[in-house]
């Protein structure tokens, strides 16, 4: 859980007296309440209240140390209004709908509403030891499931068969898939987010499996590209280039490094192999209560690595009509370098 004290310091730096938290992952981070989409949190310099409805009375009391006010809008907004008169109240511009903002304006006419972006997200980027453990556990489960399912990735199997085996095993272990499973074989590998289809895997295919577990609210994220039989020389060359870029970027992970530099390092290696244009996304992202969260490992990012961040390193190369490769590790930034949390073996081609 994000510390309220840290949030209050961040609010003060942003010139805010209060913040209305509506983004579900931020609600969970600040309150511990796991049904964030049906909750809101109001944090002031002197208090914090979780707002949810009567479906969650017991759950809110069990999960959250915050005072809970059980009601539905507009009663929730009316409850908060008297304490907000004359205050500068932040709202999450990345999440609040225009209609919800109109509601705030109507019910809090004496508050000055201020759009904020990334206030709680920036605090979530550095994980507590309990959060690191949750993500470690999620990744350990994903590695175990991948090891069980790897022998099933053979010619004649459908992508959907692989995906459903992974999902079933995650469910049986008390987790769930972190996102729609990506199983992209042969030419479908050219789609970075080619979710599993009914395509039948062929001999000689490369198959990209991008999977994660969601456990106790926290996510993992890992990609392996595996060979079925012997792939053609060109795709084997692409695979080796992506692996080289991935391993070089992982080696460079340590506190103080700008994430944009890591993206550039991997991109330069792929460019050297004539694959710069084929690397169609950023190098990676933070992982936690959401699969994609801060920091961003995009070439335009100003983020700098700090101990406690958990990030992905996932270069890829995608050749329309031919195929694709992505290799992704989940990496913890430590005090003096990094620890790779994903341990599933990578193909040697
Ligand atoms: C729909 S969640 C997919 C998770 C997957 N492992 C993943 O992160 N894929 C990346 C190619 C990706 O979506 N990167 C984003 C951050 C981007 O580059 O915009």
The pLDDT tens digits of the residues spanning 258-285 come to 999 999 999 999 999 999 999 999 999 9
- Provide the ipTM: 0.98
**Cα of 221 to ligand 1 centre, how many Å?**
9
Residue 105 neighbours by CB under 8 Å, 6+ apart: 113
CB 245 within 8 A of CB 270: yes
What's the token pair of residue 44?
């002031």
Tokens found for residue 172: 């049986």
Is there a contact between 176 and 214 (Cβ–Cβ < 8 Å)? yes
Domain span(s) for CATH 3.40.350.10 in the chain: 3-124
Task: Please identify, by atom number, the ligand 1 atom nearest to the C-alpha of residue 222.
Answer: 6
Q: Which atom of ligand 1 approaches the CA of 298 most closely?
A: 18
Kindly state which CATH superfamily the domain 3-124 is placed in: Creatinase/prolidase N-terminal domain (3.40.350.10)
Supply the pLDDT for residue 3. 87
pLDDT at site 180? 97
Domain with CATH 3.90.230.10 in the chain: 126-340
How far apart are alpha carbons 196 and 207 in whole angstroms? 11
Tokens of 67: 């005072």
Q: Which residues contact 54 (CB under 8 A, 6 or more apart)?
A: 70
For ligand 1, whether the C-beta of 179 sits within 6 Å is: yes
List of residues 6+ apart from 339 with CB closer than 8 A: 331, 332
291 Cβ below 6 A of ligand 1 = yes
Pairwise CA distance, residues 244 & 316, whole Å: 11
The class (CATH top level) of 126-340 is: alpha beta
292 lines ligand 1 (CB under 6 A): yes
> How does residue 175 score in pLDDT terms, banded at 50, 70 and 90?
very high
| 127-141 pLDDT per residue, tens | 999 999 999 999 999
| pLDDT attached to residue 212 | 98
Indicate whether 182 pLDDT > 90.
yes
Ligand 1 centroid from CA 30, angstroms: 25
């Amino acid at each position: 859980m994000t510390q309220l004290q840290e949030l209050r310091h961040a609010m003060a730096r942003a010139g805010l007296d209060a913040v209305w938290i509506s983004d579900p992952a931020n609600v969970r981070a600040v309150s511990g309440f796991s049904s964030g989409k049906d909750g809101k949190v109001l944090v002031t310099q002197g208090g914090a209240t979780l707002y949810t409805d009567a479906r969650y009375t017991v759950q809110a009391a069990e999960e959250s140390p915050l005072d809970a006010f059980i009601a539905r809008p507009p009663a929730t907004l009316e409850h908060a209004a008297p304490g907000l008169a004359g205050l500068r109240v932040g709202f999450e511009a990345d999440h609040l709908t225009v209609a919800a903002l109109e509601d705030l304006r109507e019910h809090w006419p004496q508050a000055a509403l201020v759009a904020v972006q990334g206030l709680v997200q920036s605090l979530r980027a550095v994980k507590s030891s309990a959060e690191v453990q949750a993500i470690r556990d999620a990744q350990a489960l994903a590695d175990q499931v991948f090891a069980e399912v790897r022998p099933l990735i053979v010619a004649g199997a459908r992508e959907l068969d692989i995906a459903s085996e992974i999902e079933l095993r995650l469910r049986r272990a008390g987790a769930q898939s972190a996102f729609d499973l990506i199983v992209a074989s042969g030419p479908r590998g050219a789609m970075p987010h080619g979710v599993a289809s009914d395509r039948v895997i062929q001999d000689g295919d490369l198959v990209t499996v991008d999977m994660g577990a969601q456990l106790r609210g926290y996510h993992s994220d890992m990609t392996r590209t595996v060979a079925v039989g012997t792939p053609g020389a060109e795709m084997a060359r692409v695979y080796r280039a992506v692996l080289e870029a991935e391993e070089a970027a992982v080696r460079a992970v340590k506190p103080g490094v700008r994430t944009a530099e890591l993206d550039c390092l991997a991109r330069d290696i792929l460019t050297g192999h004539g694959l710069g244009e084929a690397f169609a996304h950023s190098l990676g992202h933070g992982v936690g209560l959401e699969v994609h969260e801060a920091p961003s490992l995009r070439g335009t990012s100003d983020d700098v690595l700090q101990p406690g961040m958990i990030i992905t390193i996932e270069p890829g190369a995608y050749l329309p009509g031919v195929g694709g490769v992505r290799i992704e590790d989940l990496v913890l930034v430590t005090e003096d370098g990094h620890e790779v949390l994903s341990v599933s073996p990578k193909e040697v081609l």
